[in-house]
């Protein structure tokens, strides 16, 4: 029986075993399959709770962001189109292979967040164009020639960032990445085809009392941008200090696989785990299995294991029932399997035992998964950075802008993970947010969440800088281009970020600890990126650099296709 079948078996017999207990006897299903069965059940409950909260909150923000009841439904159309299409493909994939329990939830979360983003920018741009021309077809053409291009590059950048996760040889991560890529791809397709077909003067119907149909350039945001430009060095330096300060905890970042504390008290797997640890020692819930191949002296292996530090019990070798000369030795460590130090025991045993002897069991599985994620992280991060730079270079046609775009995204990522380390590794705010800290971040957080955070940051980068590029092409004045782009895009960026933060926070406040990590880290990343990086740091840097920011070496210019946003 494989691991997936074992978890499903644990799910099937869970309730029946619980029913066997009475006032005199406690019955608890525990072990690795039971842990993941309870973990999946808690995730499902958390996701349902998050979705119940998400939809009404999102609806309110959409109405406020779009200003009219008519237009507020457009993001839901994009989300529905993307999700239904992605679900159809994912259902077909399930006929061939298993998918992670989180695949659909992640796909829904990204489809909703990016569907709102794309609809906001296209509708805002369309309203502006329609206000000046009062010709629907001309306004749509102008919108798709500017905002449509920006969204195309943004969507491709998000998909490329997520695709790097496919380099991790772990099916659960690959299925989650594939689900999100499909959802984003279909939402992008709907934004570029379905949404333009739906646009018309009707989007201004049923307005809120304070909504003005001709109010698409915010003078307040233009004044804000001008104030930043006048104090560019001070404003940029202050934001840089804040972001680096938030990122500082990364210097002592620790990671590990989810421990038993991610399950709430009262869960069968946790109760059984704690009962075994209490009766037989802290390492008993995670026995270490050593497989001795034919030709290796099993008694000598037993002796070596007994002498290994932190091993408190070794059970005699058991010959394999199927024969073949193999035997299995079970050892118990003195270290709680939920602690990162348990992995050191596995590493020590593998270094001490003869070649061909295999060290396995639940603790070894977690250790191997943690090491795989650590080993692949530099590759995934490197691929994301290089591809992100190339796409920004193509989209914005400026070398400095492409470099600084990637660097500033790294600042947003660093700030988000630094805040995550404070919360989940050091436990600052744990009681307030209702979780039991493990003393480390979950192993998959740095790699998997990096791709998600970077993708979202690139989303805003393309939106803002494509608008800046458009105004620079029209005026040739870099300072005016920054002010105009902030005046036209700040409100949609803040509105879109507000929706994303609300969506991510609902996931961060419900469910298991890894869900909280994901939701809160992504929420901090979006907030820092939209409020600090895009609206303060970017204008400050562009003001200091001036026209040089848009320089492109001639040999690169000859290689790139000509991409323009101004009409």
End residue of a domain, out of 310, 328, 360: 360
Residue 9 lies in a domain: no
- Residue 78: pLDDT band (50, 70, 90) is confident
Residue 279 lies in a domain: no
Residue 186 lies in a domain: yes
Co-location of 244 and 375 in the same domain: yes
Co-location of 154 and 201 in the same domain: yes
Co-location of 313 and 410 in the same domain: no
pLDDT recorded at residue 298:
85
Co-location of 295 and 422 in the same domain: no
The two three-digit tokens of residue 286, written as one number: 């995670």
Please give the tally of structural domains in the chain: 2
Residue-averaged pLDDT of the chain: 83
Q: What is the CATH number of the domain that holds 143?
A: 1.20.1640.10
Write the pLDDT tens digit of every residue in 242-297.
999 999 998 888 888 777 877 777 788 888 888 888 888 888 888 999 898 988 88
Co-location of 215 and 305 in the same domain: no
Residue 456 lies in a domain: yes
The two three-digit tokens of residue 424, written as one number: 């989940």
**CB-based contacts of 400, cutoff 8 Å, min separation 6:** 545, 548, 549, 550, 551
Co-location of 537 and 555 in the same domain: yes
End residue of a domain, out of 330, 360, 390: 360
Question: Could you list the residue range(s) of the whole structural domain that residue 465 is in?
Answer: 33-260+367-559
Co-location of 356 and 496 in the same domain: no
Residue 466 lies in a domain: yes
Write the pLDDT tens digit of every residue in 437-496.
778 888 877 777 788 788 777 777 888 888 888 888 888 888 898 998 898 888 888 888
Instruction: State the Cα–Cα distance between residues 132 and 295, nearest whole angstrom.
Output: 85
End residue of a domain, out of 304, 339, 360: 360
Co-location of 48 and 94 in the same domain: yes
**pLDDT average, residue stretch 390-406:** 88
Co-location of 64 and 182 in the same domain: yes
Name which of 78, 87, 31 is nearest 58 in CA terms: 78
Co-location of 340 and 319 in the same domain: yes
Q: What is the DSSP letter of 442?
A: E
pLDDT recorded at residue 23:
65
Co-location of 213 and 314 in the same domain: no
pTM for this model (two decimals)? 0.82
**pLDDT average, residue stretch 337-352:** 87
Tell me how far the alpha carbon of residue 318 is from its chain's centroid: 44
Residue 23 lies in a domain: no
Write the pLDDT tens digit of every residue in 348-369.
999 898 888 899 988 898 888 8
Residue 134 lies in a domain: yes
Q: What is the CATH number of the domain that holds 341?
A: 3.30.70
Cβ of 223: how many Cβ atoms within 10 Å? 13
Residue 26 lies in a domain: no
Co-location of 182 and 320 in the same domain: no
């Amino acid at each position: 029986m494989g691991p997936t079948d074992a978890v499903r078996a644990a799910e099937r017999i869970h309730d029946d075993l619980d029913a066997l207990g009475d006032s005199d006897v406690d019955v608890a299903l525990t072990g690795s399959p039971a842990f993941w069965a309870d973990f999946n059940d808690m995730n499902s409950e958390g996701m349902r709770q998050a979705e119940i909260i998400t939809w009404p909150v999102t609806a309110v923000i959409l109405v406020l962001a779009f200003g009219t009841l008519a237009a507020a439904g457009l993001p839901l159309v994009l989300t529905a189109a993307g999700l239904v299409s992605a679900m159809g493909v994912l259902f077909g994939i399930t006929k061939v292979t298993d998918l992670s329990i989180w695949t659909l939830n992640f796909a829904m979360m990204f489809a909703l967040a990016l569907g709102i983003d794309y609809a906001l920018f296209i509708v805002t741009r369309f309203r502006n164009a329609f206000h000046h021309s009062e010709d629907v077809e001309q306004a749509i053409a102008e919108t798709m020639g500017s905002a449509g291009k920006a969204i195309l590059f943004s969507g491709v950048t998000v998909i490329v960032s997520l695709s790097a996760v496919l380099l991790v040889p772990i099916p659960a991560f690959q299925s989650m990445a594939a689900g999100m890529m499909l959802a984003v791809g279909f939402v992008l397709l709907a934004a570029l085809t379905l949404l333009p077909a739906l646009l018309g003067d009707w989007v201004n119907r049923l307005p809120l009392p304070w909504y003005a149909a001709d109010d698409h350039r915010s003078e307040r945001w233009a004044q804000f941008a001008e104030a930043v430009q006048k104090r560019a060095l001070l404003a940029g330096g202050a934001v840089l200090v804040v972001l680096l300060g938030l990122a500082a905890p990364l210097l002592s970042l620790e990671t590990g696989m989810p421990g038993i504390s991610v399950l709430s008290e009262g869960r069968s797997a946790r109760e059984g785990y704690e009962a075994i640890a209490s009766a037989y020692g802290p390492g008993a819930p995670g026995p270490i299995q050593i497989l001795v191949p034919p030709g290796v002296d099993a008694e000598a292996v037993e002796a070596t294991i007994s002498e290994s530090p932190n091993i408190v019990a070794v059970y005699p070798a058991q010959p394999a029932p199927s024969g073949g000369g193999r035997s299995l030795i079970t050892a118990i460590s003195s270290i709680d399997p939920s602690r990162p130090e348990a992995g050191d025991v596995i590493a020590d045993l593998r270094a001490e035992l003869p070649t061909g002897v295999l060290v396995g069991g639940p603790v070894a599985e977690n250790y191997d998964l943690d090491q795989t994620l650590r080993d692949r992280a530099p590759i995934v991060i490197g691929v994301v950075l290089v591809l992100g730079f190339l796409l920004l270079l193509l989209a914005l046609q400026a070398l400095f802008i492409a470099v600084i775009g990637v660097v500033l995204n790294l600042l947003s990522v660093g700030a988000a993970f630094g805040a995550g380390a404070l919360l989940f590794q050091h436990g600052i705010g744990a009681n307030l947010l209702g979780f039991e800290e493990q003393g480390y971040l979950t192993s998959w957080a740095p790699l998997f969440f990096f791709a998600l955070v970077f993708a979202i940051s690139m989303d805003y980068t393309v939106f803002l800088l494509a608008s800046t590029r458009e105004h620079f092409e029209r005026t040739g004045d870099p300072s005016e281009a920054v002010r105009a782009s902030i005046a036209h895009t700040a409100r949609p960026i803040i509105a879109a970020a507000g929706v994303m933060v609300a969506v991510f926070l609902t996931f961060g406040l419900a469910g298991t600890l890894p869900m909280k990590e994901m939701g809160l880290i992504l929420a901090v990343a979006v907030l820092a990126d939209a409020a600090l990086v895009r609206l303060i740091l970017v204008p400050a840097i562009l003001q200091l650099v001036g026209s040089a920011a848009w320089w492109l070496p001639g040999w690169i210019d000859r290689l790139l296709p000509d991409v323009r946003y101004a009409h």
